[in-house]
């Protein structure tokens, strides 16, 4: 099982046989981003703005990210995984006290009072949004070939968008249905409904 970019469907997919599960196109093992960026830029069109932070219901690919509206459809840019180093407070009990407490049980009652606390560096893996300012929005299409899990939904391939109990369903003319949920307070529901009412 490998994760590859289908240039026809404009999405990263999980494949066993080297073909896109939606359009059945053969997928190259590697791609040169510079060769496909121009095609994706014209396909995505001008970026109109950010719609909100969402969770895409799917497996094996990043699920949390940001939805954008473009002149030609909807773009999902997943969060990136980053490692951050922080200072955390940890106990620094002497090994000698631990051995002594095991050998002589009354010391077990004293050990909480004898523990020292110290600050140590520790690595934490977190998901973080790729932040694009207004002047950087034109760079969004370039992320399609560089960030596994990103995808673009051309308006012409969207049959319907519906909402039920906070979950939005996007039906495509080619490919499986996509389900998404907002994961942060904001105007996502309003902007998605506006997109459905005015663009479909």
Residue of 154, 180, 186 lying closest to 167 (CA atoms) = 180
Say what the pLDDT of residue 115 is. 58
CA distance 71 to 197: 15
**Domains, the chain:** 2-79+129-199 (2.30.29.30), 84-124 (no CATH)
**pLDDT tier at 112 (50, 70, 90 boundaries)?**
low
Say what the pLDDT of residue 33 is. 85
Say what the pLDDT of residue 105 is. 59
Say what the pLDDT of residue 122 is. 77
**pLDDT tier at 116 (50, 70, 90 boundaries)?**
low
* pLDDT tens for each residue of 79-99: 987 777 777 776 655 566 555
Task: Kindly give, in sequence order, each residue whose CB lies less than 8 Å from that of residue 127, ignoring residues fewer than 6 positions away.
Answer: 62, 64, 79, 80, 81, 82
Burial class (CB in 10 A: 0-12, 13-18, 19+), 76: buried
Say what the pLDDT of residue 83 is. 78
Tell me the pTM. Answer: 0.81
Residue 175 has pLDDT above 90, yes or no: no
**pLDDT tier at 171 (50, 70, 90 boundaries)?**
very high
Dihedral sign for Cα 148, 154, 59, 56, please. positive
């Amino acid at each position: 099982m490998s994760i590859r970019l289908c240039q026809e469907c404009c999405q990263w997919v999980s494949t066993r046989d080297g073909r896109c599960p939606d359009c059945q196109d053969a997928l190259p093992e590697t791609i040169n981003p510079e060769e496909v960026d121009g095609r994706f830029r014209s396909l995505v069109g001008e970026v109109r703005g950010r719609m909100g932070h969402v969770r895409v219901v799917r497996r094996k690919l990043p699920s949390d990210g940001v939805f954008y509206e473009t002149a030609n459809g909807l773009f999902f840019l997943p969060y990136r995984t980053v490692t951050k180093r922080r200072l955390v407070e940890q106990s620094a009990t002497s090994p000698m006290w631990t051995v002594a407490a095991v050998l002589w049980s009354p010391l077990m009652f004293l050990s909480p009072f004898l523990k020292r606390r110290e600050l140590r560096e520790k690595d934490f893996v977190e998901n973080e949004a790729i932040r694009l300012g207004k002047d950087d929005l034109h760079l969004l299409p370039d992320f399609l070939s560089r960030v596994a899990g990103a995808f673009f939904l051309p308006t012409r391939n969207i049959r319907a968008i519906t909402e039920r109990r906070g979950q939005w369903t996007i039906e495509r003319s080619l490919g499986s249905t996509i389900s998404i949920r907002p994961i942060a307070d904001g105007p996502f529901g309003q902007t998605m409904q506006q997109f459905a009412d005015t663009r479909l």
